[in-house]
Amino acid sequence: MVWARDDTYPSSSPFQYFHPVFKHASARLCDSAQARAGNADILARRKAGGPLGRQYLHQAGRTIARISISRRPIFRRFFGDDFERQFGGFTRERIQNSLGSGVIVRSNGIVVTNNHVIDGADQITVVMADRREFEATLVGKDERSDLAVLRMKLDGENLPALDLANSDDLEVGDMVLAIGNPFGVGQTVTSGIVSALARTNVGVADVRSFIQTDAAINPGNSGGALIASDGRLVGINTAIYSQSGGSIGIGFAIPANLARNVVSSILAEGRVLRPWLGASGQSVNAELAKTLGLKRPGGVVVQRVTPKSPAARGGMAVGDIVLSLDGKEVVDQDELRYLLATIPLGQSANVVVNRGGVEKQIRLHLEAPPDDPPRQKTTLAGRQPFSGATVANLNPALAEELRKEFEEPAVIVLDVGGNTIAARVGLQVGDKILELNGASIDSVDVLTREIQKPASSWTISLNRNGQILKTTVGE
- Torsion of Cα atoms, 307 then 308 then 312 then 318, to 10°: -10
CA distance 187 to 192: 17
Catalytic residue among 101, 145, 222, 265: 222
> Which amino acid type is present at position 391?
V
116 three-class SS: helix
CA distance 335 to 351: 14
Angle at 258 between CA 252 and CA 260, to 5 degrees: 120
Helix axes 333-341, 256-269, angle to 10 degrees: 50
CA distance 297 to 319: 15
Catalytic residue among 7, 116, 167, 334: 116
CA distance 140 to 272: 8
CA distance 167 to 253: 11
- Active-site residue, 24 included: no
Closest CA to 431 of 401, 410, 446: 410
242 three-class SS: strand
Closest CA to 8 of 327, 200, 238, 275: 238
- Active-site residue, 12 included: no
CA distance 449 to 257: 48
Catalytic residue among 6, 146, 320, 332: 146
- Active-site residue, 214 included: no
Report, as residue numbers or ranges, the catalytic residues: 116, 146, 222
